[in-house]
Amino acid sequence: MDPLEPAYSTPVMLLIAAAAVAVLLVLIMAVKLHAFIALTLVSTVTAVAAGIPLADVPDALLVGFSGTLGSVALLVAFGVMIGRLLEVTGGAQVLADTLITRFGEKRAPFALGVAALIFGFPIFFDAGLVVFLPIIFTVARRFGGPVLIYALPTAAGFAAMHAVVPPHPGPVAAVASLGGDMGLTLLLGIPVAVLAWFVGGYLVAVRIGADDTLAHPPLLADDAGDTPKYGPPPSFGTVICILLLPMLLIGLNTVVSTLRTTGTLAEDSAFGDFLVLIGQTPIALLLTTLAAIFLLSPGRFPVRESAGIVDQALGPVCAIILITGAGGMFGGVLRASGIGEALTDSLSGLGLSLILQAFLIATALRVAQGSATVSITTTAGLIASQVASEGLGDFDIALVVFAIAAGATVLSHVNDSGFWLVSRFFGMTEAVTLRTWTVLETTLGLSIFGLALLLWLVVP
């Protein structure tokens, strides 16, 4: 449902949002209520307290829940299927061994982060993370170190690319709203993402992930022997082909969409429609799952046994999917209530420089409602007229886009579905997730903003 006009003054709406977050943390961390129940309960109470009409409360809950679930459930399900197939056939071990051989044991976290940056170019954060789970766990099992020292640099790599580099939806929508150049934003976004990942992602991640008591992943067997192996492991080339397939398919979708935007390819091209279809992330992952079954099964397991293998992957992630959807529900209620609008109204007239204003508005929206993509698109729409009136060039517009993306990255917390995805995949309590993932997202976002601000100040 569309956001309502705020029912109360801005201070009251902000107080309601703060109280909702506080109550949620108490229920989950102190009372130990299950996160799915707590999120649903607090979402309902918040909707009523924020002035959403009682008859519209169910819609406000379901829109946020189903919207998040619709985008996450398929990606998580197919991702863990692919991961399980790679794990039980030894494919994840082959990739881990190759990475470690090339980079060395001490640089394994760096190697995984670099791989995430590469694969994160076309693949969304959540899809990339679930595909990489067995690789992260395999490396952690092999070297016996804290799982977060491998997991956090990898997650930060996907997060950095998702935040600032087209074809990810946030930067694409922001560039379109501000009238910038997509190609220039892409070319600038890649080095900005890589540098921000290294400074605010990798260097921070290896420090905060060094404590081996922080995470206890439910999907990580304590003994590698718990994972059955089927025949000889696949070749490194086969594993890379499986991992590159979704990247290729999603990349084709991006190319076709770009060609249509520029008028090079006709809108009614049937072949173009077909490429767009198979390049949609859920369809790309479905095709990759089928490819993994048929590429990995010869000499290892009959195809008919694949159902049992993927069943083993789906069970542990059901709770993850539900909690992630409930996190989206909470964020959706905060958006529908008009709390985000109240925040932006209070910040948009402060008379700050445009790039700082963009960062602060996006940050406020991120904290208020959780969704990074919503924060980016809303902020871009709010400042579009100001960007146009100042006559900014494409380079400066790209920097404003990065500032918006930076604000939409920081302070991931309990109203962000990604917070719950990371928390549950890596077996962290909510308090530990706040100390690790929230801190990492914040340093990553600040690094992106710092780079954008530096270029804004030094490049005429």
Same domain? 273 vs 351: no
Final residue before a domain boundary, out of 317, 349, 370: 317
Asked if residue 204 belongs to a domain, the reply is no
Give residue for tokens 């982060």: 113
CA distance 297 to 308: 13
Same domain? 58 vs 72: no
Largest CA distance in the chain: 67
Query: Of 61, 43, 78, nearest to 285 (Cα)?
Result: 78
Same domain? 454 vs 375: yes
Q: What is the pLDDT at residue 199?
A: 94
Overall number of domains in the chain: 2
Contacts (Cβ under 8 Å, ≥6 apart) of 314: 77, 80, 81
- 215 contacts 151 by C-beta, under 8 angstroms: yes
Instruction: List pLDDT tens digits, range 431-450.
Output: 889 999 999 999 999 999 99
Residue 166, CA distances (Å) to 89, 190, 200, 401 in order: 34, 9, 20, 11
DSSP string, 227-284: S---SSPPPHHHHHHHHHHHHHHHHHHHHHHHHHHHTSS-TT-HHHHHHHHHTSHHHH
pTM over 0.75: no
Q: What is the pLDDT at residue 344?
A: 59
Same domain? 444 vs 344: yes
Same domain? 25 vs 120: no
Asked if residue 176 belongs to a domain, the reply is no
Same domain? 121 vs 243: yes
CA distance 438 to 197: 15
Q: Return the structure tokens found at 426.
A: 């890596």
Q: What is the pLDDT at residue 381?
A: 67
Asked if residue 216 belongs to a domain, the reply is no
The residues of the chain scoring below 70 in pLDDT are 1-5, 29, 68, 71-72, 76, 92, 96, 121-124, 144, 167-169, 182-183, 212, 215, 218-230, 262, 316-317, 320, 324, 340-351, 369, 371, 374, 378, 381-382, 385
Same domain? 343 vs 358: yes
Contacts (Cβ under 8 Å, ≥6 apart) of 201: 113, 152, 153, 156, 157, 159, 160, 440, 443, 444, 447
How many CA atoms, within 13 angstroms, populate the side-chain half-sphere of residue 70? 6
Q: What angle do CA 208, 448, 119 make, to 5 degrees?
A: 75
Same domain? 44 vs 89: no
What proportions of the chain, in percent to the nearest 5, are helix, strand and coil? Answer: 80, 0, 20
108 backbone dihedrals φ, ψ, rounded to 5°: -60, -45
Same domain? 258 vs 383: no
CA distance 443 to 203: 10
Alpha helices in 370-429 (DSSP H): 372-390, 394-407, 417-425
Q: At what angle do helices 148-164 and 182-196 cross, to 10 degrees?
A: 160
Same domain? 124 vs 136: yes
Q: What is the pLDDT at residue 222?
A: 45
Asked if residue 412 belongs to a domain, the reply is yes
Same domain? 292 vs 427: no
Residue 48's domain spans which residues? 10-64+319-458
Q: Which helix (H) or strand (E) holds 430?
A: helix 430-433
Q: How many residues does the chain have?
A: 460
Asked if residue 234 belongs to a domain, the reply is yes
